[in-house]
Structure 1
Amino acid sequence: MIKVYDYLRTAQTYRITVNTTSRTLTLYRNDQWFKSYPVAVGKTSTPTPKGTFKIVNKSVNPGGPFGARWMGLSKPHIGIHGTNNPSSIGNAVSHGCIRMHNKDVTELYNLVPIGTIVKIL
């Protein structure tokens, strides 16, 4: 049986854009701006890859430095995740991943399904 919440969530179309210059992640719902979040991106030696990807897996409390949630992208070893170092948000410090505050990544995780398009600029 499909719960009403699940039906409404799947009836929505989400997509994500990450701007590595402004270090923001923007969530769109049904092609309308929905919310923006501050993020950390890859440092110069390990930059966040540019391109269009999909969320291919999700994990709750993945452990280590990945904070409260992990959303793996179709680019191997790259994901959107929380952090155990919140002061890193807004900086270019990661090994290519997109870091978010744990409260923000939890909110995003609960909204977007596997298959969501992520465009990194």
Structure 2
Amino acid sequence: MSDSSIVIYTSRRQLELYEGNRLIRRYPIAVGKKATPTPHGHYYIAAKHLHPGGVFGSRWMGLSLPTYGIHGTNSPSSIGQAISKGCIRMHNHDAEALYQHVVIGTPVTIQP
């Protein structure tokens, strides 16, 4: 079992990957728009899928909050914006790298 964890800062539009207490990597992300904000709270990775296609890009990491996840995108210019329906979007190459580090059960904290 991995000791990885993810912390997402919606206001900074950043995702941080930790191994134990050590920051491994920061990634730029897109978050939910005003009408459909990314929900703050404590969740975990509940599902992982390769090549979900379409707007989800090359990887999907579903959260324990149904219908929300961390995923790639077919619109890389959206990264850095508040534009999604609440999910966390990443560049596909970043989503692929993150996918390799996380397992089902990896904790995810989403905060302002």
Q: Same fold (TM over 0.5)?
A: yes
Q: How far did residue 39 of structure 1 move? A: 0.1
Consecutive unaligned residues of structure 2, counting only runs of 5 or more, are: none
Separation in structure 2 between the aligned mates of residue 110 and residue 33 of structure 1, nearest angstrom: 16
Aligned counterpart, 2:76: 86
User: How many angstroms does 1:30 deviate by?
Assistant: 1.4
Counterpart code for 1:72 = G
Q: 1:67-78 alignment to 2 at 5 Å? A: 67-78=57-68
Count of residues paired in the alignment? 111
Q: Deviations over 1:18-37 (max 9, x none)?
A: 00000000001011111100
State, as a whole percentage, how many aligned pairs show the same letter: 54
Q: Which structure 1 residue ranges, 5 or more long, are not aligned?
A: 1-9
Kept after mapping to 2: 8 A contact 1:26/1:36: yes
Could you say which structure has the higher strand fraction?
2
Are 1:116 and 2:106 counterparts? yes
Task: Say yes or no: does 1:50 pair with 2:74.
Answer: no
4+ aligned runs moved over 3 Å, structure 1 = none
Deviations 1:50-74 (A, max 9, x none): 0000100000000111000000001
